[in-house]
Structure 1
């Protein structure tokens, strides 16, 4: 019986390593889009101005930024009492302008305006603001979580 447990333990460890390497390869492959660009192509950011993150994701679009612009911007206005999203704006912005908006914030990235809070983030990779403000779960997160759960369950089952 001990040999049987040892055999399954080794195999489950090998399966975990293979799945982890596969997940890493998928991450590298999926994160490389928009990295290789021609010199004449413009920097791109996600663009929207809506009352909710859901509307922003569905009605928003990818936009080419102006020449010299290489910063994406997200600003979310939260209602002061309920902290629900009142407005979300995503666009291209010049880096100094974005950093100035963030510097005006009193609490890390958020600034109180009347009863509301404006939270600003700047990012410097193409389309880096597309999922900002959302709770989107990626396939990589699902794969990693399932690998960990599988390993824990398998080890408890084999080592019982």
Structure 2
């Protein structure tokens, strides 16, 4: 009789544990973990300007449907076509609702490249766009313009780098 009661208790315990495990696994399958949703950036920058204009550099950072208001770093890098070695790094301000902005004076008639470096939630993304200032001669095309890339390696790369503005 003791063996039979013990067997029933063990079987009951196993069924309860299996049921708990089933509920936990099902709830995880219904939602994608936040860490698997990519951080994305959408520029809100005019693509045309005139020499001497101060342009607003603005990006909206999101993860899924959520605005990212806790980015570790958002830096704009700006350079003229064929002159990336003289790029300028500009710190942004957080305006709320996932918006990060800065201003930049475009002095010369040229094609400028704007690349934003965003470190947020264990991800580093670097989207890039062009701004045409005036009517530049665009017969020369910049080499190696496909430098934009995403890094999702689970750690903050900027903790390991020293940003000296270049």
TM-score, length-scaled by structure 1: 0.28
Whose strand proportion is higher, 1 or 2? Answer: 2
Larger Rg: 2
Whose helix proportion is higher, 1 or 2? Answer: 1
Higher relative contact order (CA 8 A, sep 6+): 1
